[in-house]
Amino acid sequence: MEFDWQVLLIVVPFVFLAGFIDSIAGGGGVISITGFLLSGLPVHSVLGVNKVQASVGTAVSTFNYIKGGHFDWKFIPFSLVFCIIGAYFGATLVTILDPEIMKRLLLIIIPIIALIMMFNKKITSLVKPQTLTTKQIYIVSSIIGLTIGFYDAFIGPGTGTFLIIAFTMCGVQMLDAGGNAKIINLTSNIISAIIFLLHGHVIWWIAIPCIIANIIANQLGSKLAIKNGEKIIRPTLLIVMALLIIKFIFDFLG
């Protein structure tokens, strides 16, 4: 794909908004992928570029969690190993599926994930933590890594929320669950980004400005430390979803 300023004018603001929102309340993947789709990028490049730029922001936040000691290592080893396996197969499946099929899947799944993001706190409050034996921890952490690693590489948005819910259900404290989620999410991002790179689905003249926008947005959002982030994310997600639906309606009628 040749260099096009119009594409950057669409995707960079969406990625900046995604990074800003994600640093405050989560849900950034829904916004960034929507921006890439609205720009008209091929769907495989949408997922490839999104994985590369998201990996940077995830790496920064993962470092902060680890530095602060906010993680539970009992769940990490098996989750990581099976996350690598799941992410490999998820990203590989994406590269061989017909782009139109992937586009339709995104149209169905992204609004659903957006709704989950908007009601994240209510869903998390319904989680009932369980006390697990060592053997159960190994089994459950393996399942978490495999299934969510596959999903993250295949589609992606909402992965952090799903991981936090899963680890919280296993009895991990919320802050530590967030740290575990970042470690696993970063792993799946890197594996899937490598797969997309090897298949030529990363457009660097788009990815590099998006990486820069993501870093700036995350820094700004973190420094502002806005409370009650859901007050910002809900209307933002509704507007983004409306734009996405309008875009696909025009594509269908055209």
Can you give the pLDDT of all 254 residues of the chain as single tens digits?
788 899 999 999 999 988 887 766 566 788 889 899 889 899 999 999 999 998 887 888 788 788 888 888 999 999 999 999 999 999 999 999 998 888 888 878 888 887 777 776 666 666 677 788 889 999 999 999 999 999 999 988 888 888 888 998 888 888 888 889 889 999 999 999 999 999 999 999 999 999 999 888 877 776 665 555 556 666 766 777 677 777 666 665 55
Alpha-carbon distance of 49 to 164, in angstroms, equals: 25
Q: What is the dihedral of CA 85, 87, 90, 95, to 10 degrees?
A: -110
CB atoms within 10 A of CB 123: 14
Neighbours of 6 (CB within 10 A): 9
Give the residue among 130, 133, 124, 128 at the shortest CA–CA distance from 74.
Answer: 133
